[in-house]
Structure formats: structure tokens, C-alpha cells
Amino acid sequence: MKLVKSLLLGSAAGLIAVGGAQAADLPVKAKAVEYVKICSLYGAGFYYIPGTDTCIKLGGYLRAEVALNTNSSYGTQSAAPASARNRLSNYYTMRAREDLNIDTRTATEYGVVRTFFDGVFSWTTGGYQGTGSATGTTAYTGTLALNTSGAVPALVGSSINPTDGGTSGGSLGVYYAFIQFAGFTMGKAVSQFDAPWTNYPGNNFDGLVGGSGTVTGINQFTYTADFGQGITAAFSAEDPTAYMQAGNLNLSGAAGLSGVTGAALGSNAIGGSRSPNLVGMVRVDQAWGLFQASVAAHDNHVAYYGPVESTGHPDDKWGWAVQLALSIKNIPTGAGDVINISGVYTDGATRYNFQNLAGSTFVMYGSSGLGAYGSVAAVTAPDTTFTTGSQQENVKTWGFRGAYTHNWDPYWNTAIYGAYAQAQFGGAAKTFLCGPAGVISSVAGITGCSPDFAIGQIGVITRWTPVKNLTFSADLTWTNVDQKYSGVVTTTAISGPNAKPAAAYELKDQSSVTMLLRAQRNW
């Protein structure tokens, strides 16, 4: 027994000794640490994603702001309830927003592969419209409700569904999401038609007319050729359905009174998508500044004259637009001073002038000096107009926008900016609406009739940057609607959430003043 025990213990000791020797022969390796390395290929802020040859850069901003004399977002008082200018209108609207962008780049044998994403998380106090009954309206029934998502408020008990995201829900927006490879851009990016400063030649105000502005991106397939020395050219196929359709109006559905007091000139008859907008651009970007020429073609595709196929339809009609943009840098007035200007002409492609954030329909109320209850300006500019049985007729527009920015010192700068845009209807539309037996000219009280109109804007902004990437700004904008109707009309009903009664209204130009106070930290 003692012999067996001794053999077992000896064997165990031998195994332990052999195992120890083997372990000693195989060194233990610690897991390699993947340190983040700077990627200097594409400028400051890029790092290699550990374990890959792809470089990544994170960026964005956080802003807090309050807009005065506007609703929901920072724009002019162009629609109810802001345009009503009564107890349903917000005196102020507050917003907090975080922007996050992710830029990745990888060098390949075919050139750099780039992806870019930009999204915003926003909380807006929304367009509060009161809690009373919407009496005195025809298009809205039910109770006006507070919406906390930042979108247009909904009506409780109506056919319009609420969009309330919850008391802390806020909203998420995707601005840009695109891939760039071998000169191609595929996805949601700024239109190649736009000037590099889009809606902002020197301002924070979103609603400038007088040019294109796809600041939240547009789906596209683009090829860009780089000729060196800052000279590039691009050709792009861009999706118009989200932002670039101002409408194709069948005037046969127009009612004279609602047309002149509510800009309801007919029924919108846009058909399904048939062709992307075709855009071409040439740009020279050098130390002295920038020059860009852009052209676009837009297919106006209408559905049917009536609710069924057998009613027929007008043929497609192409519209077009051309824009010139110029930036002059390092002007003698001061280091970093700049002038940005652009001009545009459209024929059946209105959104390239009255851009999406400005809109092309304005219905604004004010006071009257003629003894009427109030005054109103109601105008709209679609892409085309037609009547049942006829072909489309393009609406023509032209406009410009620009700004001069002066740097007082490294911490303070001021910009003066302005814009102007005019819309002109075709002869057939004017005859139908304002001819001797026109739909609008026949309304009692009309003394002057034309659907044409103009928008003029001027503003000033001052920015203070006490430390790098932290800016406080105050932006003041005046907008004027120059409408061409005249007279005093008596309404039977006023549609929309504005609490306006059926009464006598003078047809009169309107203006509004808005202000934005903003704090923004870029990173």
C-alpha cells in the first residue's frame, strides 16, 4: 500500500514538473493595445479607426436659441397662426439643437472613398395655437392643441393626426447621408445648383428668397470633375419630390374669394415622379473668391384634370432655372470681410428661387385704414398653372440675394443682407383669374387684380465670438409682401387656425419683423 501511494505521488510530481517546464517554454503574450492614431491625410481632426485603414472625424454643434415674432422655426410670418398676429400667435419660440456629423475616408487604388452623415436632434417649443375651439373656420374643426414635437400643431378630434413626440421626445432630422467615390456623390447632399453658402450669404435667417437653398440635403447622383486650380464642374440627377415642387395648379378649381384672401388659386395636381431634376454646375474657387454658374431642368408632371383617369390630363412641361453666384474675399474694408451675391431666373421651376424654407405661399394679416375689419395679403407662386382641358403654362420668377460681412476685430462681426424675388403668371392664367369675367376680378369689391407679386427682405446680424467656436448672435429681418390686388372684400369664412371672422378685409401689402437670438458651440 505504501508502495502504491509512493508511486502515485511520484507520478503526480513528475507531471507537475513537466507541465511547469512546458509553461516556462511558452511565453505569455499580453493582448496588443490598439492606440488611436492621428490621421493627417485629410486635415485636422481625423483619426484612424483602430484596426483599420479608415480615418474618421466627428463634428457638429450645440445651439440654444429664441426666435421672436415667429412660430415653430425661424421664418417670416407667412402662414397661420404666426401670420394672424393675434392671441393665437407665438411672441417667441425656443429651440435647443444638437448636430452630429460623421466623416469617414479610406484611401483606395481608385481614390478616396468617403461617407458623410449629418443628423440633428431638436427640441422646439412648437407652434402653440391656444386651446379654444376653432370656431369661425371652415377647414379646421375640433380643438386646437399644443404640440411639443416642433412640427405644425395638430387638431384634437380632427382628421389631422397629432405629431406629439412626448414631453421630452423632440425630433430627429437627417440632413446629409452620402457616399463619394471616384468623383461620384450618391445620397442626400446639398444640391449642385446651390451657391456654397446656400440660404446664408451672411445671415442665420432661414427664409431668404432669391435663390435655391437645399440646406437639409436632396437625394442625388452626381459626377464632379476637378480640372485643378480650383476649377470644377458637376452634372447631377436630383430627386425633386421632397423639396423642389412648388405645385401645378388647376385653376378650374379656384374660388375667387378664397383665392384673393387665402391664396387658394386652384387644386394642386402634381402627379407621380417621372424624371429627376437635371442640374449642371461650373465653379471657380480661388484665393480671390468664387464664381459659380448653375442650370437646372425640372419636369412638371401632372395627374388628371379630375379624380379619374377618363378625365384626361395635360402633357408634361419642362421648366428650367439658371443661377449665377459670386463671392469676393479679402476686400479692402478689413481682414476676412466678404461679399456674397447671387441672382436667379426660373421658368416653371419656382423652388430654385422661392426655396423650400422660404416657401412660395404667403397669407398675412394686418390692420386697415379704410374702415375694414382688417387687411390681408394672400399670394402664391406654383411651378405651372392650367385649366381643365388645357395645357400647362409656366410661372416665371426672378430674384437675387446677397450680404456684406465686416469683421470689426477677431471677436466681433456684422453682416448686412437682403433678398428680392418676383413671380409672374402667364397670360392664360391672368385672363382666367383677372380678365373681364375673371374668377377673382368678378369678386365684389375688387378694384385691382393681378396674381403677380414680389417679396423684399433686408436684415442685419451681429456676432460675438469671445472664445474659439463659441458664438452669440442677434439677427433681425424685415420681410415685405408686395401683392398686386386692391379693394375691400367681404368674406364668408376664413380657413385655417387664425380666429379671423367673416368680415370686410382690405387687400393690402403686408410686412413682418422677426428676430433670432442664438448661442452656438461648434466642436
The set of residues, in sequence order, having a beta carbon less than 8 Å from that of 261 and lying 6+ positions away, is 363, 376, 378, 489, 491, 494, 505
Residue 14 lies in a domain: no
Residue 171 lies in a domain: yes
Report how many domains make up the chain. 1
Specify the pLDDT at position 33.
Answer: 59
The count of C-alpha atoms lying within 13 angstroms of the C-alpha of 140, restricted to the half-sphere facing its C-beta, is: 24
Q: How many residues does the chain have?
A: 523
Distance CA 148, CA 514 (A): 22
pTM of this structure? 0.86
The set of residues, in sequence order, having a beta carbon less than 8 Å from that of 301 and lying 6+ positions away, is 270, 271, 272, 273, 274, 275, 316
Per residue in 298-352, pLDDT tens?
A: 999 999 999 999 999 999 999 999 999 999 998 999 899 999 999 999 999 999 9
Residue 18 lies in a domain: no
Residue 9 lies in a domain: no
The set of residues, in sequence order, having a beta carbon less than 8 Å from that of 403 and lying 6+ positions away, is 201, 202, 203, 339, 340, 341, 415, 416, 417, 418
Report the candidate in 86, 56, 48, 92 with the shortest Cα–Cα distance to residue 74: 92
H/E stretch holding 299? strand 289-300
Specify the pLDDT at position 155.
Answer: 33
Specify the pLDDT at position 167.
Answer: 52
State the distance between the two ends of the chain, measured CA to CA, in whole angstroms.
Answer: 80
At 334, list the grid cell. Answer: 478689413
At 68, list the grid cell. Answer: 421672436
Specify the pLDDT at position 499.
Answer: 86
Report the candidate in 318, 259, 299, 291 with the shortest Cα–Cα distance to residue 449: 259
Instruction: Assign residue 191 the CATH number of its domain.
Output: 2.40.160.10
Buried/exposed code over 114-131 (b: 16+ C-beta within 10 A; e: otherwise): bbbbbbbebbbbbbbbbe
Specify the pLDDT at position 342.
Answer: 98
CB 110 within 8 A of CB 163: no
Report the candidate in 192, 471, 203 with the shortest Cα–Cα distance to residue 358: 203
SS (H, E, C) 335-377: CCCEEEEEEEEEECCHHHCECCCCCCEEEEEECCCCCCCEEEE
DSSP state of 27: P
Sole residue written with cell 511565453: 27
Residue 29 lies in a domain: no
DSSP state of 82: G
Distance CA 475, CA 204 (A): 7
CB 226 within 8 A of CB 416: no
Farthest CA pair distance, the chain: 130
Specify the pLDDT at position 495.
Answer: 67
Report the candidate in 362, 379, 365, 361 with the shortest Cα–Cα distance to residue 500: 365
- Structural domain span for residue 109: 34-522
Sole residue written with cell 469671445: 466
Residue 7 lies in a domain: no
Per residue in 88-147, pLDDT tens?
A: 888 888 999 999 999 999 999 989 999 999 999 998 876 654 444 333 333 333 333 333
Residue 438 lies in a domain: yes
Q: Write out residues in the chain with pLDDT < 50, as ranges.
A: 1-24, 129-166
Specify the pLDDT at position 20.
Answer: 45
Residue 17 lies in a domain: no
Measured at the alpha carbon of residue 234, what is the angle toward residues 232 and 237, in degrees to the nearest 5?
170
